[in-house]
Amino acid sequence: MSEMTIHLKIWRQARGAAKGNFETYTVEKVLPEMSFLETLDLLNEKLTRQGQQPVEFDSDCREGICGTCGLVIKGTAHGPNPKTTTCEVRMRHFRDGETITVEPFRAGPFPILKDLVVDRTAFDRIQQQGGFVSANTGSAPDGNAVPIPKIDADKAMDAASCIGCGACVAACPNASASLFVSAKISQLSYLPQGGPERGRRALLMIGQMDREGFGDCSNHGECEAVCPKEISIENIARMRREYFKGALGGHDRKAASGD
Amino acid sequence: MSTFRSHVWSSVGKKMITGLTGLLLVGFVAVHLLGNLTLFIPDRGHAFNAYAYFLEHAVHGWLILAFEAGLLAVFGFHIVSAVTVAWTDKRKARPVGYALVRNAGGKSRKGLPSTSMIVTGLTLAVFVVLHVKMFKFADHPSVVYDGKEMKDLYAVVVAAFKQPLIAGLYVAVMGMLGFHLRHGFWSAFQSLGWNNDRAIVVLEGLARVVAVLFAAGFLALPLYILFFVDPSVSGGHR
């Protein structure tokens, strides 16, 4: 296999530092089959051998399902290919001798911890406001004991496939978290189990989203294009309906009347 | 507990205000365009002047006052909420920008119409002020139809658009209106929650049609007057 030489222009920022800067590194003997993160591993081994600080970045499963990794590669969140996470980016998508700009997800509510690692606990705090169903636990209910139309089950599953990676925020020109929050709200809005807390859920989660300092959505749709799970912006329209009904108290009245 | 006011001025509320006022403005601009079409009738401005006279005198002049007050409010809310979304909140949410930004393509709707909304919008706002100053608050010659004295607005329009600079600027701004509507029209429905995966196809198609129709309808007028109307034959010289 033909080996490649890749130049990486990487954002370096020390822990606790307010500012950072770009450093350019050269990695040799990169194979086209290697993943982008393996190329960063190769660079880090070299930096460690040279006694320098390795480049810090997040990754966990490295098979596109956990949502831990996340870099802006060549100006696009999760790299140039659609429907993929950063760990699924392969070096065959780049040219030999190419200089690749690597940046962290940038948003005020995602402060940089070090180099390319950002703090995404803002998402957790939004989830804690209502991204769940309050129900007594116990033995698992029988399958199909609660009838759900197939189309609703499918839409709920599509929304539930969000892995919370934060690429939507990174790609949004306004740094809005609307796609993430809408996926979490939509998922439960399609299912009867999510019914009783519908109105409150939208109000509380969106309230937290705003308090965290995420921007407002301008309907550019860039989020959907970079989303590794292809979450549709129709969820954002649905989220706005949920919010509107919640603000008017519609859902909660309905729940109270046992409808 | 959250209050009604915090809901109205939340990230979702601001978008709903922008979308709703945007659609109201589309309605206004549609009626305005239909009125303008009377200028194409080769009657030396009779129909246009009579239409303007009707608007100014309907319900003893109260109709136009009510509409002007409403329009002012709609413009105000549209501008304030949109500037908050696309300028102040945006800058707060990403204090440090990217060194390199590329559009993702694919299903993304990001493009020149969507990224230039703030520019085209603010240009249109400045245009509206100048436009009102030029046509509403200018000195008008009079014309008499069947013994009734009316303002000869037609003469004002012809005099303005016979100047290539004004006609050219007007055409450019109407092009911007087309761009603004190309993103704004379908986006308003999305902002109000009136959208899903099937509707978006129809709404985006409609946005293209509305953008082209409105831009073409408005910018045809100055070109028509500049090239095809004889200024010596104004409504006042019968």
Identify the residue among B1, B78, B94, B181 best suited for mutation to test binding to A, counting A beta carbons within 10 A and taking the highest: B94
Q: Where are the domains of chain A?
A: 4-110, 120-134+145-256
pLDDT digits (tens, 9 = 90+) for B165-197: 999 999 999 999 999 999 999 999 999 999 999
Task: Please indicate whether residue B69 or residue B139 has the higher confidence score (pLDDT).
Answer: B69
* Residue B117 CB-half CA count within 13 A: 29
Do the Cβ atoms of B192 and A240 come within 8 Å? yes
Q: In this structure, what token pair is assigned to residue A43? A: 């660079």
pLDDT digits (tens, 9 = 90+) for A21-61: 999 999 999 999 999 999 999 999 999 999 999 999 999 99
Fold classified for A4-110: Ubiquitin-like (UB roll) (3.10.20)
Do the Cβ atoms of B97 and A106 come within 8 Å? yes
The pTM assigned to this predicted structure is 0.92
Q: What share of chain A is helix, strand, coil (3-state, %, to 5)?
A: 40, 15, 45
Complex ipTM, two decimals? 0.90
Give contacts of B13 with chain A, Cβ < 8 Å: 243, 247
pLDDT digits (tens, 9 = 90+) for A170-180: 999 999 999 99
Provide the chain A residues 190-209 that lie in CB contact (below 8 A) with chain B. Answer: 203-204, 206-207, 209
pLDDT reading at B116 higher than 70: yes
pLDDT digits (tens, 9 = 90+) for A223-258: 999 999 999 999 999 999 999 998 888 666 554 444
Give contacts of B99 with chain A, Cβ < 8 Å: 9, 11, 22, 101, 103
* Residue B128 CB-half CA count within 13 A: 18
Sequence-ordered list of residues with C-beta below 8 angstroms from that of A167, at least 6 positions apart, any chain: A70, A77, A78, A85, A105, A223, A226, A227, A228
**Measured between alpha carbons, how far is A68 from A103 in angstroms, rounded to an integer?**
15
**Measured between alpha carbons, how far is B175 from B233 in angstroms, rounded to an integer?**
29
Minimum distance, in Å, between the CA of residue A175 and any CA atom of chain B = 6
Of A72, A239, A247, the CB nearest to B7: A247
Do the Cβ atoms of A213 and B93 come within 8 Å? yes
Give contacts of A215 with chain B, Cβ < 8 Å: 11, 85, 89-90, 92-94
Determine the CATH number of domain A120-134+145-256. 1.10.1060.10
Closest to B131 in 3D by CA, of B36, B42, B53: B36
Question: B181 at the A interface (CB within 8 A)?
Answer: no
Sequence-ordered list of residues with C-beta below 8 angstroms from that of A237, at least 6 positions apart, any chain: B189, B190, B193, B194, B195, B196
Same fold, A4-110 and A120-134+145-256: no
Closest to A67 in 3D by CA, of A53, A45, A41, A85: A85
Mean pLDDT of all residues in B219-223: 93
Q: What does the mean pLDDT of chain B come to? A: 91
pLDDT digits (tens, 9 = 90+) for A176-217: 999 999 999 999 999 998 888 888 999 999 999 999 999 999
- pLDDT at site A2: 87
Give contacts of B112 with chain A, Cβ < 8 Å: none
Mean pLDDT of all residues in A4-12: 96
Sequence-ordered list of residues with C-beta below 8 angstroms from that of A35, at least 6 positions apart, any chain: A62, A87, A88, A89, A90, A91
> Locate tokens 């009316």: which residue?
B150
**Measured between alpha carbons, how far is A118 from A135 in angstroms, rounded to an integer?**
33
Question: B197 at the A interface (CB within 8 A)?
Answer: yes
CATH for the B7-93+110-228 domain, from 1.10.10.350, 3.30.70.100, 1.20.1300.10, 2.10.109.10: 1.20.1300.10
Do the Cβ atoms of B190 and A176 come within 8 Å? no
Which residue in B has a C-alpha nearest to residue A220's C-alpha?
Answer: B110
- pLDDT at site B5: 80
Question: Number of CB pairs < 8 Å for A and B?
Answer: 155
- Model confidence at B94, pLDDT cuts 50, 70, 90, reads very high
- Comparing A149-158, A241-250, B65-74, B106-115, the range with the smallest average pLDDT is A241-250
Question: A109 at the B interface (CB within 8 A)?
Answer: yes
